[in-house]
Structure 1
Amino acid sequence: MVKENLLIVENRIEEACKRRGRDRSEVTLIAVSKTKPADMIREAYQSGIRDFGENKVQEICDKYEQLPDDIRWHMIGHLQRNKVKQVIDKAVLIHSVDSVRLAEQIEEEAAKKGICVDILLEVNVADEESKFGFRLEETEQAIRDISVFPHISIKGLMTIAPFVENSEQNRPVFKELNQFYVDMQRKNIDNVNMNMLSMGMTGDYEIAIEEGATLVRVGTGIFGTRYKIGENEV
């Protein structure tokens, strides 16, 4: 099932790239493996997937020990400050930095380990009360505040779009974040390498790709079972 689903997802990614004249290599597929057993992850791995996303620190820690060491683990869920030290040397990218205080904690723990941690800032584009993330109007200042931390490298932005019946309804959200992302690229802020835009999940990843996503987070579309983060399927 996983192999067959991946073929469908891959085809849709390629078609979305073609519609916008983008090269397929510009988009990384992250298989959201939260709550999934190691056997299902291995099936995706055997089909060529190397990027996997998890919502919980404990799941990354457990699976990190069980599965091949060339897997790239992405922390995509809300990260509590008291869990930072457990995950910063296991995740290749933390998508969900939603406050300067969290970034300060990452800086502190990264300094202790002598590493530099790649992060994305989570932006609550639609300004939903149920969501974490910076409001769009706060994000540039947050980028500037966090960019001074020597053990953190800002790689880009992430958003979780609203749960909608028609994925087209999220196009304005993705378009707005992409416009802001491009604006931040042009500002050339020191210690900010703005080249990753993580947006789009199972219900709307094709729209996200058309609007500039470089990372898409797909769970249900690959693993088949419906799980939710709040109101949002991955």
Structure 2
Amino acid sequence: MTIWTAHILSLYPEMFPGPLGASLAGKGLSENAWNLNVTNIRDFASGKHRNVDDSPFGGGAGMVMRPDVLGAAIDATVEASKGIERLIYFSPRGRTLDQAFVRELAEEPGAVMICGRFEGIDQRVLEAREVEEVSLGDFIMSGGEIAALALLDAVVRLLPGVTGNSLSLEEESFSDGLLEYPHYTRPPVWEDRAVPEILLSGHHEKIKEWRQRQSEELTKQRRRDLWDLRQSKF
């Protein structure tokens, strides 16, 4: 059986596994439900100072990661990955990360994830190595490491042997294009707020219908874009 494996390229390898070493992801990692390999990009730099960046041609602020250093790091990682071909670079120019992408990635043997720094990486690397750009959203972070951790957390929890209850994954937000319905637990009354009576009725079919309506209403109110997209498919 092939174990899903993430290969991380970073200038800060000490940031991994970070929070992924705890909870379900950490348990899955220790039990070989998934693997994590982290490579320091600086190991592929040469010279006394092992520089990985340089000034941008054409001028401008900041520095750019060198294509010779990063290209060598990518090539060595791909060769060692034994068949993993998905190359991902975290960039605000990329496709926005969503649950469909997460599910797609979870079905593959793994991915190589490139964590950029500075003003970005040389465009020639992206083109020459056919790197896919992925964005967490319309905001800027100091590097790709946190984005990689977020994507890994989303993917790993879908892998066999990581999350115990597969049914809970099927009922989550975005699983069917809707936001998830509200949840309640004991006590039945808290600060004069009661749990909806339908949830205490024991009538499973009516509970299912109620939850479906709640999901639809929440999606229409809070994520009209998701609702319109879902409607266009039916």
Task: Give the TM-score normalised by structure 1.
Answer: 0.28
Query: For the pair shown, which has the larger CA radius of gyration, 1 or 2?
Result: 2
Task: Give the TM-score normalised by structure 2.
Answer: 0.28
